[in-house]
Structures are given as C-alpha cells and as structure tokens.
Structure 1
Amino acid sequence: MKRIILLSFAAVCFTCAATAQVADSAKRKVELKGAVNFRDLGGYATKDGHHVKWGKVYRSADMSKLTDDDLAILNKLNVAYDVDLRGTEESKNAPDRLNPNTDYILCPAGSDNAGNMLQSLKGTTNGDSVMQTYYSNTTYLADRYKPFFGKLLGMPGDKSLVFHCTAGKDRTGIGAALLLYSLGVPYDTIINDYEASNYYRAAENKKMAGQMVKYMHINEGVANDVLAVKKSYLDATFTAIKAQYGSIDNYLKNQIGLTDKDLKTLKKKFLD
C-alpha cells in the first residue's frame, strides 16, 4: 500500500473550483472510464479577442488504465500525440495505454524525487509551505516543457495532443499555464483552468487523503493541502520565473526557446 501511495503522490506533488471553467464542464470534460481530469483546453478567450481552438489540446491525469472504449474515444478525438510529464519510475510502473502509432514522449525532468517529498510531509503541519516550495523551484521546468512545446509546434493540423502526469494537476497544471500564457490567455483565466482540478479530482482527492492519513500517518490538513490546487501555488511558479528571468515572456523565449516565429505558429495553430 505504501508503494501505491508513493506512486500516486508523485503526481500530486508535482470547494474552490473555478466557476467559469466548471460551468462548461459538460463540453470540456472527456468522459473516460480509465482516467480522471481529462479535459479540453479549448474555448478560452485571449486578451485580443481570439479563442483557443476546441479539440486540439487535452490535459489529463494517469492514462495507464484506459479501457478499449476509452481508446476508441481518443481515436475519434484524433489524439495522436501523448506528452507524459511523469518520472521514469512512475511511467515504468504504470505505462500509458495508447492507441497504435501514438507519438509518445516521456519528459521526466525533476519528477524522480517524489519519495523525498513524501517523507518531508511527515511531522509537518503546513502543506501549503511544502507546495509553494515545490512550485517555486524552476530548476527543471525548461527541460520538462521544451519537448512539450516542440510537439505542439510540429503537430499536424488534423491531429490533437494530450499531456499529463499522474494526478494531472501540478506538472500538468504548470504546463497548461505556460501554454495558455503563450497563446495570450489572461492570467485570471489560466488560474481558473488550474483550480478546476479541485472539481475534476474531488472524489480521487478524498480517497487519496484518507490513504495518506491512514497508511503514511500524514496530518489530514497537510494531505488535503498537497492534494489540492490553490492560486498561491501557481502564483509561486510565475513569481519565481519573473524574479529569475524578468518576465514570463523572457522565460518562454530564452529558456523554453520559443522564437517570435514559434509564438506566431502556436497562435495560428491553436487559436480561432
């Protein structure tokens, strides 16, 4: 049981649901039997009046338990690219179940130290502090998300892409935030999309919190904090990037490697 919790926790380290985002959940959420928090990033308005295209980019939690029916749904959605943000052990122990010929890439940078983080929760009563420290660490972000943007830039127009970690909230949440920012989506909307994981993961979070308390003897409040997403967490990432690189735009250009041409390409491909 401890091993199961550790593998699940790897994602959660890495109600206040976003009202507007949840309101269109019937259109945004993809109903799958073997995955939670699988949703479309489309529909968001940009600062200059465009909208992110529906049916092009999806975010998700663990995809190792997809059923045959789930795979048929992904096939209908033209999901031909899978960017896995988990660590090497996570992906090895729960490999993605994919349709044939899916372009799969693993981006494990910074994701192989979940055990150390789990141990740090024992005895602490401040889960927010642990999470803000995690989100403030920009060391691995470029290595993790460069391949993600590379796949987006190279993806054919008639295909779609899914990116995910284990819970689909931390590493996936940061990736979604950087993508939406690059497309010109306002920060308030980015936060709404990020916080919506609390809504889509409500049942899973309750179950996982109980396991962490029972088997790992972690404070219940701390368990709830690290399983949740909060504005202050994503704020910590954006604040750290700005402090180190001057702005998010500088970071995307100089660390992720997105040229002006790349940004124009992303907007042309993913905005209406």
Structure 2
Amino acid sequence: MSFFKKGRNVFLICCLLFAAGVHAAELKLEAPENGAAAELRLSAERKFLENDVLRSETPEWMDSEMKRFAAYVQEYETEMAQAKQEGRPPKEMRDPAVRFMFFANNEWAKALMEEYKEERKTFRPFRWRVSGNVSDVTVWFSETKDFAKTLREPVPQNEDGVPETCILPTGLRLGTKYFWKVTARDESGKEIVSEIREFTTNSEGPRVLYSPLVMNFRDIGGGRNADGRKVRQGLVYRGAALWLPEETRLVRGSLDAEYRYFFQEVLGLRTEFDLRGEGEAQRRFELGEIPLEKYGVLRSCYPLHGYFPELDRNQEYLREIFHRLASDPEVYPMYFHCAGGADRTGMLGVLLDGVIGRDDQTIRDHYEFTSFCGHARYRFSRLAAEMFRKFEAYAPGEPIRVQVVRYLESIGVPREEIEAVRSAFLEEE
C-alpha cells in the first residue's frame, strides 16, 4: 500500500473516531457529592422552624388583636339578640379574621414567605451533566446498591423540548441512605448510564413531598416522638384536594400519567379519607377536581368541622376514623385531606401527632407548616388557640399528647384502639 493510501486511511479512521467522540452521549453526576448528606428541606422552611418568635408566648400585638376580636364578638352577639327581638335578619358584620394576623402584620414572616416562593422555583438539589443528545432521561434511587427495588423519577423537558438536568425528588424518605444514578438513551437508542453515588437524607421532619400536583402534601411520619421512638414513614399522608387552576391544566395537558405514577408507584395509596361534606366534594368534582378513585384509591367521606372537637358530628366521625386506623391494616397507606389541607386536616393532624406521642413544639410546628402553601396558620391565632385550649381542658397542665388521648377516650375511642394506632406508627428498634 502506498504511503498516500496509508495516510488517507489513517485520516479517515481518525475522522470517524473524532466524530464518534463528538456524538457519544455521556451522563455525569454533579450533586450531591458521593457520600454526602442531601438536604431536602428548603432553607426558608428551616428558618421557619428555628425561629424563636414562633416558640414564645402570645406576643403583645396578638393580645391587642384578641381584644379587638372580643369586642367584635360582643357586638355580634348584641346584634343577633336585637335582630331576633325585632324579628329581622341580623346585619352583616365583618369578622376581623385574627387567625391570619401574624402573616399579615409580621414583616419577618412576610419576607420568609416570599423567600420560600422564590426558592421553590429553583430548588433542585440533584444535578447532573449531559454531553450529546439524549432522551428518556430517568433518575433512579434505591436503598441498595444493586437497585433491586427502585424509586424512579422521570425527568421533565424544558420549553425547548430538552430534558432538564436537575430535579427535586418527591418520594425520598427522611434519615435514609440511598444510591442514585441517571439513565437515558442516545440518538441510536442505546441506553447510557451514569456512575452510581450514595447519599443520606436529612432526618428532621416534617417529610414534605414537593409534588407540583398536590398542595400542602406531607407525611405524618418521620422523625421521633417525645419518647425517642422513630415514627414510621409512608403510612399516612395529609394534604389538599387534587385541584389545579384551569390555566395550569391547559398548559400541562392531561395529568393522568403523572397522577397515576405519584399515587400508585411512589406512594402506593390504598385509601382516601375526605374530610369534606359530600356536597362540597361533588361540587368540586364538577368544576374539575380529580377524584382519587380514578387511580384505584378507595374513598371514604368523613365531613369534619375544623377546630371544634366538641361537636357531636366531629366526635362521631373521629370515632369511625380511629376505629378504621386501628382495626383495618388494609387502610394503609392512607391520604386524608379537606379542600386546602389546613383546618379540618390540621385538626386531625394534631390528633394523630398526639396519639403518636410527639412533643408540644413538634405538634404546633406541624400545624403551622401549612403557612408555606398559602394558608397562613398560627398557633396563637383565635381558632387554633381555642382548639388547643379545648384539648387542654381534658388534662390541664399536661403535654398536648396526653390531652389528645384523654379527649379521644372521652368521646368513646377505646384505649386499645388508640394504642393500636400508636403501634402502627412507631417502629420497633
């Protein structure tokens, strides 16, 4: 072979190798570092839970608001009596809505909520780098290095149809060691796989599932109770109804696949406890709310009235709820909600936290955490303070967990059912 032919062949081979190198797709994990701790909570949420203002006695500004509300109540009762005496309908009077005052008047709280909104848009702690054109990008998590049992996170595309290179996982548990990797397909359809890394999630609760599909979605489990016992995760979830604004649905199109993946594959939900009245729920379904029954979840309706544990109706439904939680293992995993996951859901959340045996601070923190979802709730607000005072009447001076158990016993929930629910939530160590 002539020198020129040899040179030409070498040149062609080099060109082919270069072209192959240019077009070869590759995935490289970037964050978190291998073996590092992975923080899944937003910094705004940490600040909220650590702030001493929220752990103090009733602040002075709230005292003045409560006095203002007391004056309103007196005026309202006087008007009701006069209207009845004169045989006329009462005048419309505006409730000063003291329960929202902290977030309306406190500059620190308002700034924190704005920080949360901005951080929520960009918080994507798992990142990787892509070279070449790829499709079908999926992130895989597993508690074992062989990925025998996995949690998959499909990766969305940006506005240009290119797969994103970062995610905020929705299903990871607190205080758990995971292995993770990214897979994709190159232009030829061949699967490419990144290296495998390991990390450990933060152990402090609450466990928030940052799904864009459901508002105010949290796990009742996670962390430890006041006795130091670990609280089982993945058993009971709380949140809002499956309602998205019409403009969101129009932009995103059908959400069936995403909902089915989240509720069936990630959570494995079996039952739904809807705390709304049947009429309220049906009206929302007619307006576009998505029924969980569509995804194989068995729905039960327990129409509670938030903040009023003394109501006969509430007591009847609470007896039914705790009986099912205590006697039917097939009820788990369960999801309970009202409309926004704040008031009715908040009251049942306090009761469950009390039965689990959490300390007072954690119970109140979990109640207030709803504030991050646009439903400002504050432990010293009128309705919340009244609810906690009603529980306190059953065991004055005792922790909330004791007060809650005494309350449940007083309305007819058997002690053995309370213990059964507690046992279901607490891990053996």
Q: TM-score, length-normalised on structure 1? A: 0.66
Residues 196 and 154 (structure 1), Cα distance of their counterparts in 2 relative to 1, 3 Å cut:
same
Which is worse superposed, 26-35 or 174-183? 26-35
- Deviation, 1:179, is 0.7
1:137-188 alpha-carbon deviations (Å, 9 max, x no partner): 6314313423322332234279300100011011101100001101111121
Higher Cα Rg, which structure: 2
AA of the residue aligned to 1:85: L
Taking the TM superposition and a 5 Å limit, the aligned residue runs for 1:83-232 are 83-95=273-285, 96-98=290-292, 99-110=294-305, 135=307, 138-139=310-311, 140-156=313-329, 159-199=332-372, 201=373, 205=374, 227-232=375-380
AA of the residue aligned to 1:268: S
**Unpaired runs of 5+ in structure 1?**
1-11, 18-22, 111-133, 206-226
- SS of corresponding position for 1:135: coil
Answer yes or no: is 1:38 the counterpart of 2:217. Answer: yes
Partner residue of 2:419?
264
- SS of corresponding position for 2:342: coil
- SS of corresponding position for 2:408: helix
- Deviation, 1:189, is 0.4
1:103-122 alpha-carbon deviations (Å, 9 max, x no partner): 21111244xxxxxxxxxxxx
1:42-82 alpha-carbon deviations (Å, 9 max, x no partner): 11321211122111110011124593212321112111110
Given that 1:83 and 1:106 are in contact with CA atoms closer than 8 Å, whether structure 2 keeps it comes out as yes
- Deviation, 1:33, is 3.2
Match of 1:250 among 365, 385, 406: 406
- Deviation, 1:93, is 1.2
AA of the residue aligned to 2:362: T
- SS of corresponding position for 1:105: strand
Q: TM-score, length-normalised on structure 2? A: 0.43
CA distance in 1: counterparts of 2:295 and 2:320, whole angstroms = 21
Given that 1:32 and 1:70 are in contact with CA atoms closer than 8 Å, whether structure 2 keeps it comes out as no
Given that 1:33 and 1:70 are in contact with CA atoms closer than 8 Å, whether structure 2 keeps it comes out as no
CA distance in 2: counterparts of 1:263 and 1:144, whole angstroms = 15
CA distance in 2: counterparts of 1:67 and 1:259, whole angstroms = 42
User: Hey, which of these two has a bigger chunk of strand by percent?
Assistant: 2
Partner residue of 2:255?
67
- SS of corresponding position for 1:104: strand
- SS of corresponding position for 2:405: helix
CA distance in 1: counterparts of 2:206 and 2:344, whole angstroms = 24
- SS of corresponding position for 1:94: helix
- SS of corresponding position for 2:322: helix
CA distance in 1: counterparts of 2:378 and 2:205, whole angstroms = 23
Given that 2:323 and 2:413 are in contact with CA atoms closer than 8 Å, whether structure 1 keeps it comes out as no
1:194-227 alpha-carbon deviations (Å, 9 max, x no partner): 111112x1xxx3xxxxxxxxxxxxxxxxxxxxx4
- SS of corresponding position for 2:273: strand
CA distance in 1: counterparts of 2:204 and 2:255, whole angstroms = 22
Taking the TM superposition and a 5 Å limit, the aligned residue runs for 1:232-243 are 232=380, 233-243=383-393
Given that 1:78 and 1:158 are in contact with CA atoms closer than 8 Å, whether structure 2 keeps it comes out as no
- SS of corresponding position for 1:185: coil
AA of the residue aligned to 1:228: A
AA of the residue aligned to 1:241: F
Partner residue of 1:53?
232
AA of the residue aligned to 1:97: P
- SS of corresponding position for 2:300: strand
Q: How many residues align?
A: 205
- Deviation, 1:240, is 1.7
Percentage of identical aligned residues: 25
**Unpaired runs of 5+ in structure 2?**
1-99, 101-108, 113-201, 245-253, 397-402
- SS of corresponding position for 2:350: helix
CA RMSD, aligned part only? 3.0
